[in-house]
Amino acid sequence: MSSTYHRIYSVVDQIPAGQVTTYGQVGHVVGCPARQVGYAMAALESDSSVPWHRVINRRGLISARRDGLPDERQRRLLQAEGIVFSVSGVIDLTCYSWRGPDWLFLSAEGMNPLPEIC
């Protein structure tokens, strides 16, 4: 497993039940593109303990899989955690969005907890 995937999985492991985050937010924390976060989630074994189902797209939707359809298993897992979907299948990110890992976690993982100053 690449070190980037390891960092991605470490961050996703921090997302509590009943909350979601986006591929882009994980990528921002780890320092990689959102697409790479998606590849990492797709690479997980089916019996993985990483809560992959808590990562959704920036529009609050479950992303389409290889077959072009959203993952119904992901929806069921999120609903079991109390996450509510709108009629059109959108999760309200203002209500269910995770605020991100704490600074101690970031520091322990060797990630910079401070934003870059331009």
Q: Tell me, which fold does domain 3-108 have in CATH?
A: Arc Repressor Mutant, subunit A (1.10.10)
The whole-angstrom separation of Cα 94 and Cα 15 is 15
For the stretch 18-62, pLDDT in tens is 999 999 999 988 889 999 999 999 999 988 999 999 999 999 999
The whole-angstrom separation of Cα 71 and Cα 29 is 25
Residue 51 dihedral angles phi and psi, to the nearest 5°: -75, 65
For the stretch 50-100, pLDDT in tens is 999 999 999 999 988 776 666 889 999 999 999 999 999 999 999 999 988
The reported pLDDT for the residue numbered 43 is 92
The reported pLDDT for the residue numbered 1 is 61
Instruction: Kindly state the tokens that stand for 45.
Output: 């074994």
pTM of this prediction?
A: 0.85
Mean pLDDT of 107-112: 71
The reported pLDDT for the residue numbered 68 is 66
Instruction: Give me the residue spans of the domains in the chain.
Output: 3-108
